[in-house]
Amino acid sequence: MGGDLYLTNFRSRLGDSLVSTEGVIEDIGMGVTKPTGHEVIDLDGGLLLPGFIDAHTHIQAWGLRLFTTDLGNADSWSDVISRISGSEGPFIGIDYDESGWPDDIRTNDLEEFDFPVALRRVCGHKAVANEAALRLIEEDHPRAVEDDGVSEKGALELFHIFDPGPEGRIEAATHGADTALSLGITTVHEITHDLTPLKRSGTPLKWRGYRVTEDEPVGRHEDFEGIKLFSDGSIGSRTAWMLEDYTDGSRGGPYMERDSIVEHAMRATELGLQVMTHALGDAAVQNVVEAYTEVAGSHEMTRPRIEHLELVPGPAWSAMRELGVVASMQPNFTVNWGMPGGMYESALGARYVTANNYRKGLDCSLAFGSDCMPIGPLFGLKGALEHPDANARLTVEQAVTAYTGGGAFAGMMEGKVGSIDTGKASDLVVLTGDVPDGQVVMTIIDGEVVFRA
């Protein structure tokens, strides 16, 4: 049963006081009368918003950084090597981003270490390792290793390969969920192979589960409401599939052929599962749209999703709208890599400004997520508000809606969460200041305060 709260002295276009009874919003407006027996919380002029919904995330995997070394702030390959040198090993490093480094990655440097070393790029689609690590990986995960090192599949499953064990996974899930709560997130769309650690963590964080599906047959699995497929990789690793060349002359390629996407999507739809497909490059997006169109010819898909949509061929937007596709996008990608002089410009040249067109995403059902790069919605929202192309930007209200009501719709939860309306769950976040520069000072789920700054 949820909490009984009376919130007062906040900023909202809906009023300045709210009543939550048994975890459900009972009333909101100007000077709403306080019911007897409700806990009173004076929000001291804070901004009240619906709880954020991260529509594309990996909370459990993010929490596993407890057992790795974060290389997100490494400023050079030399810096990475120095950090490994200070370790007793084995060394699992994550989230390196070489796009702004002054030097190049020299994998031979890793062979000076006699303990396993594996490093994964921030996109998750590329990893490098020394021979000691490759031998260890190949013992139990032969498909994770190719002639030239770690395969893309191996990079994506690095946390599964270097597994901290059941209790470690629960600790990681708890850490990830607590971080989400501290950032105002009340619901996540968790993409994973296994939800058990999150369930066992006891977190109040709400979730909708999407099971990563590649080679195995599509089936129903406990706690999962959907599946995730892959059409391509990432721009940073040059594995996103493009219609035109990258600046280095490559184009990437398909991760799953269209026929495989069709087969998996048809089976999922027959089982009542929602389908999301990862597609960053315009060729990959076109591939998915064609696959969904074929499926829709014989099956009624329920809010099919395309994840990321960084580059989209023009006709695909109207096709997605007709198919009822949810545009699941990550505005933090623009903050990280999409500004002038950033990795997108280096990889794509002048067409980098066409990437991540959030305004066109509004033509479909737009939902925002983080993909844990990083998790925080307030960080990500800056990308939608400050996109280098003014015609691709959103207003503050549109951007916040994509991170609240948009996520609720994407996960078919709009009747319960995603907005501040009577009859909906009291899932709320309080900010000091305004979006995106404010700070989260309180997170409420079902009328219970689950985080206070």
Predicted model pTM: 0.91
Between β-strands 127-129 and 5-11, what pairing exists: parallel, antiparallel or unpaired? unpaired
C-alpha distances (whole Å) from 125 to each of 48, 212, 235, 383 are: 37, 14, 10, 22
Residue 41 contacts by C-beta under 8 Å, 6 or more apart in sequence? 5, 6, 7, 8, 442, 449
- Whether omega for the bond prior to residue 331 falls within 30 degrees of 0, making it cis, is no
Domain 168-421 class?
Answer: alpha beta
> According to CATH, where is 2.30.40.10 located in the chain?
1-51+422-453
Closest C-alpha among 353, 268, 255 to residue 305 = 268
pLDDT in tens, the chain (453 residues): 689 999 999 999 999 999 999 999 999 999 999 999 999 999 999 999 999 999 999 999 999 888 889 898 999 999 999 999 988 878 999 999 998 899 999 999 999 999 999 999 988 889 999 999 999 888 888 888 888 888 888 888 888 888 889 999 999 999 999 999 999 999 999 999 999 999 999 999 999 999 999 878 899 999 999 999 999 999 999 999 999 999 999 999 999 999 999 999 999 999 999 999 999 999 999 999 999 999 999 999 999 999 999 999 999 999 999 999 999 999 999 999 999 999 999 999 999 999 999 999 999 999 999 999 999 999 999 999 999 999 999 999 999 999 999 999 999 999 999 999 999 999 999 999 999 999 999 999 999 999 999
Residue 246 contacts by C-beta under 8 Å, 6 or more apart in sequence? 238, 252, 347, 348
What is residue 164's three-state secondary structure? coil
> According to CATH, where is 3.10.310.70 located in the chain?
59-161
The DSSP result for 42-82, as a single string, is EEEEEEEEEPEEEEEE-HHHHHGGGGSEE-TT--SHHHHHH
Residue with tokens 């192309």: 389
Q: Please, which residues bridge with residue 8 across strands?
A: 17, 42
> According to CATH, where is 3.20.20.140 located in the chain?
168-421
**CATH superfamily, region 1-51+422-453:** Urease, subunit C, domain 1 (2.30.40.10)
What is residue 138's three-state secondary structure? helix
Biggest CA pair distance of the chain: 70
The CATH code of domain 59-161 reads 3.10.310.70
Closest C-alpha among 5, 6, 4, 8 to residue 46 = 8
